Amino acid sequence: MANPSPPIETIRPEVDQIVETIIYLYTESRRLTKGIAREVGLTGPQLTVLKLLETFQDLSLSSLSERIRAQNSTVTGIIDRMEREGLVCRERSKSDRRVVYIKLTEKGAKLAREIRVEPLEIFRIALTSLTQADLKDLLRILMKLQKRVLARVEEEET
């Protein structure tokens, strides 16, 4: 027989502390992104797009939307502004004309190379200080949490 869950009163302090930590990490990553972006005349989302395109070369609009967890219409607005600034260009797929790839221009690639610190790199560095066992445990728990949050989101949407 499985162990029953402890009463909510006994786990409440730990749950609150975990939620506060998640909010702190999210807030700090956004603050760092905005600060770095502001230094080079970009918005936080534009910086994220720039660094993603630097890493993955070219991405379709829908793939880019998935990676930054934003709707296609939101990403279209970001790309429109970046295109006006000469940082990215759109290119239709040769195999499927419905697909449009977003690519860095020479100007965008140069700017991406100049921006050395990606906010997520701070998390990567911090995570490398953990043991392999801790990393496995953290990943297992985060994946479980993500699965439950997604189930809740889907439940709310129906």
Instruction: Let me know if residue 59 belongs to a domain.
Output: no
Tell me the per-residue pLDDT of 15-56, one tens digit each, with 9 for 90 and over.
Answer: 899 999 999 988 988 888 888 889 999 998 899 899 899 988
Q: Which range marks the domain in which residue 151 is found?
A: 118-158
Q: Is residue 152 part of a domain?
A: yes
Is 155 part of a structural domain of the chain?
A: yes
Please indicate, yes or no, if residue 4 is contained in any of the structural domains.
no
If one counts the domains in the chain, the total is: 1
Spatial CA neighbour of 86 closest among 104, 74, 73: 104
State if pTM tops 0.95: no
Amino acid at 71: Q
- Nearest alpha carbon to residue 75 among 86, 88, 92, 94: 88
Residue 63 located in a structural domain: no
In a domain, 145, yes or no: yes
The reply to whether 95 falls in a domain is no
Question: Is residue 94 assigned to a domain?
Answer: no
The whole-chain average pLDDT of the chain stands at 87
